[in-house]
């Protein structure tokens, strides 16, 4: 295992890759059991440096990704609010269209009411004229009936006068 230290990427001046750092469980047990205490400190220091290197390599990108995701989330919230406002505007437009149709319908019904009112006024005038005419006709018929009755009484009186009366003896 000591030969592995010399062949690693850190001896060549390149940053260590995560694949190079990973050891199998058997290799770790071998290293722990056979390595002296000095090598353990070196391993801990190497693990610490590799961890720092790994964090310094990936952490800025992850933090940048986190900021980008936060911005995206904030932009999504803004878009959702804007979309909600647009939906509200469309609902208001539909309400206005409904109001316009109601006003149009009300105008149509108003016109119908006006025409019905005119018809009722005309019908009232006609019935008033017909009532007057009927009253005149009734009065005329009563007058004619009265005249006929009067004429018949005259004729009856005339017939009575024409009937021979026995002369009175004196």
Q: Is residue 135 part of a domain?
A: no
Read off the pLDDT of residues 111-162 as tens digits, 9 standing for 90 and up.
999 999 999 999 999 999 999 999 999 999 999 999 999 999 999 988 888 8
Rounded to whole angstroms, the Cα distance separating 54 from 41 reads 20
Q: What percent of the chain has pLDDT over 90?
A: 51
How many domains, the chain?
1
Confidence at 33, pLDDT banded by 50, 70, 90: low
Residue 121 in domain:
no
Instruction: Indicate whether 152 belongs to any domain.
Output: no
Retrieve residue 1's tokens. Answer: 């295992």
Mean predicted confidence (pLDDT) in 44-55? 90
Residue 35: inside a domain: yes
Q: Which domain holds residue 38?
A: 2-83
pLDDT in tens, 85-106: 999 988 888 888 888 889 999 9
pTM passes above 0.75: no
Query: Is residue 16 a contact partner of residue 53, using CB atoms and an 8 Å limit?
Result: yes
The fraction of the chain above a pLDDT of 70, given in percent, is 76
């Amino acid at each position: 295992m000591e030969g592995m230290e010399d062949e690693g990427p850190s001896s060549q001046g390149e940053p260590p890759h995560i694949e190079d750092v990973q050891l199998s469980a058997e290799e770790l047990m071998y290293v722990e059991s056979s390595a002296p205490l000095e090598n353990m400190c070196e391993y801990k220091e190497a693990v610490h440096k590799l961890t720092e290197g790994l964090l310094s390599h990936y952490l800025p990108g992850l933090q940048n990704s986190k900021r980008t995701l936060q911005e995206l989330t904030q932009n999504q919230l803004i878009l959702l609010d804007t979309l909600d406002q647009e939906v509200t505007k469309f609902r208001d437009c539909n309400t206005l269209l409904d109001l316009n149709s109601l006003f149009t319908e009300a105008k149509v019904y108003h016109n119908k009411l006006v025409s019905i009112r005119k018809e009722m006024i005309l019908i009232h005038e006609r019935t008033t004229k017909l009532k007057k005419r009927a009253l005149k006709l009734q009065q005329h018929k009563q007058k004619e009936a009265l005249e006929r009755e009067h004429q018949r009484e005259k004729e009856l009186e005339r017939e009575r006068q024409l009937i021979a009366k026995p002369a009175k003896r004196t």
